[in-house]
């Protein structure tokens, strides 16, 4: 454990070390060092990035067999045994802010809501904790956030302490994880929180900057809390502010009226949709009446046949319904374009088996579909308007000769 220097000092970002082992695995290169400040992925916190003699460290892991820290490189190993290491400080400090903020937030949830943290996850864009409760009021969440930020602003010291398991068990510790070693590392926030943790933390709570809960998600018996600390919270605030500014400009209104403005837009849109539907229906009714007027009178019934371009946006089913409301109508309707659609229908008292006729038409365009004697529909690949009209004329002939 002693060669992991970040355990005692999270602020050193440049150091020299000696390569103790060189590993090549599936074409990837890694080295172990006699001592390191690089944090390997563990305990819900991602690894540090940086360089070894100018070569990028792209992953840091722990070898299970012996606990060695493996520094994975983006290419061949440095030639020298002694290397200069540099840790990507903005990334490390971001992790320190999020991780220390998590300790504060977890303790605040215990004090305000008796909610215990059972999971923690930190990635490049999200930080979450899972709580063992599934009910939290808005007031509790406000109180938790207030308490957590009070602790930040009081700038309390954050202590690191190494104790034995036996010693730890006598202390008021929030969480003792099962570890293979007898030595346990404790992180204490003065007079507020004490927990076992292997991560990197800031020296005083003030460095966390601020803690903001951004999302609360109930998941069965537990609750997932998404939050942001320090720099991440400030970036998030910036993005949200930009979004609100854009919305205010687009809707020409102030921040306080945004929600009302959006909801009245939604209402307007709903009304417009209703009006459009009504107008479309009126138009179809008018179109149907015209088609019946122009239809071919064959004995007792009227035969209608028409091919539309798909761009006309005709709803064949609705048009068919309007047409066959009238008695004695047989309608052969189609649209074509990128694909063909056919709908054959008739009034109850008109002759003809629409299903059989439709299949006859579909056979000629490699289409599929079916239905009943009164109404059948189907479709196939797009064919020329003229070709489809010919097919409908052929069907018309069949009806007339029968
Ligand atoms: Zn921690």
* Structure tokens, 358: 């439709």
Predicted local confidence at residue 113, as pLDDT = 97
Cβ neighbour number for residue 117 with a 10 Å cutoff = 20
DSSP string, 275-302: HHHHHHHHHHHHHHHHHHHHSEEETTEE
Write down the pTM of the prediction.
0.76
Q: For 185-216, write each residue's pLDDT tens digit.
A: 999 999 999 999 989 999 999 999 999 999 99
- For ligand 1, the distance from its centroid to the CA atom of residue 31, given in whole angstroms, is 26
- For ligand 1, the distance from its centroid to the CA atom of residue 210, given in whole angstroms, is 17
Decide if pLDDT at 296 tops 90: no
CA 249 to chain centre: 27
- For ligand 1, the distance from its centroid to the CA atom of residue 187, given in whole angstroms, is 7
Q: For 341-375, write each residue's pLDDT tens digit.
A: 999 999 999 989 999 999 999 999 999 999 999 99
- For ligand 1, the distance from its centroid to the CA atom of residue 195, given in whole angstroms, is 8
Please enumerate in sequence order all residues whose Cβ is within 8 A of that of 138, keeping only pairs 6 or more positions apart, or say none: none
Q: For 117-169, write each residue's pLDDT tens digit.
A: 999 999 988 999 999 999 999 999 999 999 999 999 999 999 999 999 889 88
- For ligand 1, the distance from its centroid to the CA atom of residue 100, given in whole angstroms, is 6
- For ligand 1, the distance from its centroid to the CA atom of residue 122, given in whole angstroms, is 11
> In CATH, which of 3.10.20.740, 2.40.10.10, 3.90.1150.10, 3.10.310.40 is domain 288-401?
3.10.310.40
- For ligand 1, the distance from its centroid to the CA atom of residue 61, given in whole angstroms, is 18
Decide if pLDDT at 288 tops 80: yes
Distance separating alpha carbons of residues 79 and 7, to the nearest angstrom: 28
- For ligand 1, the distance from its centroid to the CA atom of residue 388, given in whole angstroms, is 72
- Which range among 55-69, 161-175, 374-388 shows the weakest confidence by mean pLDDT? 161-175
Q: For 302-325, write each residue's pLDDT tens digit.
A: 999 999 998 888 899 999 999 999
- For ligand 1, the distance from its centroid to the CA atom of residue 389, given in whole angstroms, is 75
CB 7 within 8 A of CB 185: yes
Predicted local confidence at residue 238, as pLDDT = 97
Predicted local confidence at residue 401, as pLDDT = 85
Number of H helices, E strands in the chain: 8, 19
- For ligand 1, the distance from its centroid to the CA atom of residue 104, given in whole angstroms, is 10
- For ligand 1, the distance from its centroid to the CA atom of residue 196, given in whole angstroms, is 8
- For ligand 1, the distance from its centroid to the CA atom of residue 239, given in whole angstroms, is 28
Please tell me the class of the 92-248 domain: alpha beta
pLDDT band at 51 (very low <50, low <70, confident <90, very high): very high
Matching fold, domains 5-87 and 288-401: no
- For ligand 1, the distance from its centroid to the CA atom of residue 9, given in whole angstroms, is 13
Distance separating alpha carbons of residues 32 and 23, to the nearest angstrom: 8
- For ligand 1, the distance from its centroid to the CA atom of residue 303, given in whole angstroms, is 80
The CATH number assigned to the domain with range 5-87 reads 2.40.30.130
- What residue spans define the domains of the chain? 5-87, 92-248, 288-401
- For ligand 1, the distance from its centroid to the CA atom of residue 47, given in whole angstroms, is 14
Decide if pLDDT at 1 tops 70: no
DSSP SS3 for 372: coil
Predicted local confidence at residue 187, as pLDDT = 95
Helix axes 89-113, 230-251, angle to 10 degrees: 90
């Amino acid at each position: 454990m002693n060669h992991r220097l970040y355990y005692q000092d999270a602020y050193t970002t440049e150091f020299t070390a000696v390569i103790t082992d060189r590993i090549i695995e599936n074409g990837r290169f890694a080295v172990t060092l006699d001592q390191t400040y690089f944090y390997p992925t563990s305990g819900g916190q991602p690894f540090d990035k940086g360089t070894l003699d100018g070569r990028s460290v792209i992953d840091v892991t722990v070898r299970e067999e012996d606990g060695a820290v493996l520094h994975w490189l983006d290419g061949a190993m440095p030639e020298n045994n002694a290397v200069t290491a540099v840790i990507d400080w903005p990334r490390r400090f971001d992790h320190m802010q999020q991780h220390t903020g998590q300790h504060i937030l977890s303790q605040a949830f215990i004090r305000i809501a008796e909610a215990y943290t059972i999971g923690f996850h930190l990635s490049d864009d999200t930080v979450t904790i899972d709580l063992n409760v599934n009910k939290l009021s808005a007031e509790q969440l406000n109180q938790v956030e207030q308490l957590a930020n009070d602790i930040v602003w009081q700038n309390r010291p954050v202590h690191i302490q190494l104790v034995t398991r036996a010693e730890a068990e006598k202390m008021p510790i929030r969480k003792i994880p099962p570890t293979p070693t007898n030595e346990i590392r404790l992180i204490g926030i003065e007079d507020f929180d004490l927990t076992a943790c292997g991560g990197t933390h800031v020296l005083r709570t003030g460095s966390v900057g601020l803690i903001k809960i951004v999302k609360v998600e109930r998941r069965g018996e537990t609750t997932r809390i998404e939050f942001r600390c320090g720099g991440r919270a400030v970036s998030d605030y910036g993005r949200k502010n930009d979004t609100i500014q854009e919305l205010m400009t687009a809707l020409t209104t102030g921040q306080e009226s945004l929600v009302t403005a959006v909801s009245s837009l939604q209402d307007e849109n709903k009304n417009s949709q209703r009006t459009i539907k009504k107008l479309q229906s009126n138009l179809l009714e008018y179109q149907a009446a015209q088609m019946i007027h122009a239809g071919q009178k064959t004995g007792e019934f009227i035969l209608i046949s028409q091919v539309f371009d798909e761009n006309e946006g005709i709803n064949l089913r609705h048009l068919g319904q309007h047409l066959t409301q009238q008695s004695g109508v047989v309608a052969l309707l189609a649209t074509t374009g990128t694909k063909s659609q056919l709908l054959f229908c008739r009034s109850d008292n008109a002759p003809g088996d629409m299903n059989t006729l439709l299949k006859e038409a579909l056979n000629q365009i490699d289409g599929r579909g079916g239905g009943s004697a009164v109404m059948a529909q189907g479709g196939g690949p797009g064919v020329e308007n003229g070709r489809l009209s010919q097919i409908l004329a052929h069907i018309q002939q069949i009806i007339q000769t029968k």
